[in-house]
Amino acid sequence: MARRAAAIAIVLVLLLAAGVIAWTIVPRWYARRNAPAASAAPQAAAPAVAERKIKATLYFVSADGLSLAASEREIPFAEPIVAQARRIVEAQLEPAPPPLTAAIPMGTTLRTLFITDRGDAFVDLSPQVTTNHPGGAINELFTVYTIVNALTVNLPAVTRVQILVNGKEADTLAGHVDLRRPLQQNLKWLAAPAASPTEPRQ
């Protein structure tokens, strides 16, 4: 009788142990095993996201040289917003579609870009933006507002833009435009006919 009771007790203990293993240890082990796979998932999906494009409004010098003209172009979608901002500036640094002309000097590259919580974007450009600048107040205004408008028009979360040169705050690019503080969007440099269809994009 006592031996039978002991056998039942052993079976019960074994069952209990199996239960514990089934209910707690296995799920934990399973979860741990699957965790790397879960975090890897976005990487696997990334190429598919990069295929997505957005339409961005970019700015170039008009034929008469006295105003900016807006031009739409498809650029890669990127997240987070700072990555998207980079793509926009990089697209703005590419050659202009004919018959427009780029307002940013040849050879200028984007070094870094960051966006503060207040919506101020800091765009750090390579020194060519200064050294290759052909001068002239209107030219310099176009160089600056090409970048300021491209970011603020396409990214409503960016409210102001400050241009840095070679990692440092700059007084001006070529002796005219005050770059010591972030600048707001200004569409008055656009030619009058092009100004109306250029609506801020969501």
Partner 1 sequence: MCTLLAIVGGMTAAQAPTAAPPYTVLTRDGRRPLATRLASGQDMFALDDLAPLFDLTIKEDAAAGGLTITVRNQIIVLSAGQSLASVGGRLISLPSPPVHDGRTWLVPVDFVSRALAPLAGLRVELRKPSRLLLIGDIRAPRVAGRIEPLGSLARLTLEVLPATPHTVSQDGPRLVIRFEADTLDAVLPPTTAPELIQGVRPGDGPATVVVDLGPRFASFRTSDVPGDRGALRIVIDVVSASAEAPAAPQALPPPSVAAPDGPPLIDLAPAGGLRTVVIDAGHGGSEDGAKGAGGTLEKNVTLIVARRLKAALEARLGVRVILTRDGDTTVGLDERAALANNNKADLFVSLHANGSMRAAANGAQIFYLSLEEYGDAAQRAAHAESESLPAFGGGARDIELTPWEMAQARYIDESAALAQAIESSLRERVPMSRRAIQQAPLRVLVGANMPAVLLEMGFLTNPDQEKQLRSDEFQNTLVQALVTGITRFRDARGASRPAAAPAPAGTVR
Residues that bind partner 1 (CB under 8 A): 61-67, 101-103, 134-139, 141-142, 171-172, 174-181, 183-184, 186
* Structure tokens that stand for 128 in this block: 């060519």
Rounded least distance, CB 115 to partner 1, Å:
19
**Considering Cα of 181, then 186, then 190, then 194, what sign does the dihedral take?**
positive
Quick one: 93 or 179, whose CB is closer to partner 1? 179
Taking the complex as a whole, the smallest distance from the CB of residue 183 to partner 1 amounts, in Å, to 5
| CB of 42 vs partner 1, minimal distance in Å | 38
**Least distance to partner 1, CB of residue 139, Å:** 5
Instruction: Tell me whether residue 88 or residue 182 sits nearer to partner 1 (CB atom).
Output: 182
Report in angstroms the alpha-carbon separations of 115 from 45, 75, 124, 144: 26, 20, 11, 17
Pick 56 or 68: Cβ nearer partner 1: 68
**Beta strand 160-165 with 120-125: parallel, antiparallel or unpaired?**
parallel
DSSP class of 158: -
Nearer of residues 124 and 140 to partner 1, judged by Cβ: 140
Dig out the tokens for 13 from the structure. 């203990």
Cβ atoms of 89 and 124 within 8 Å: the answer is no
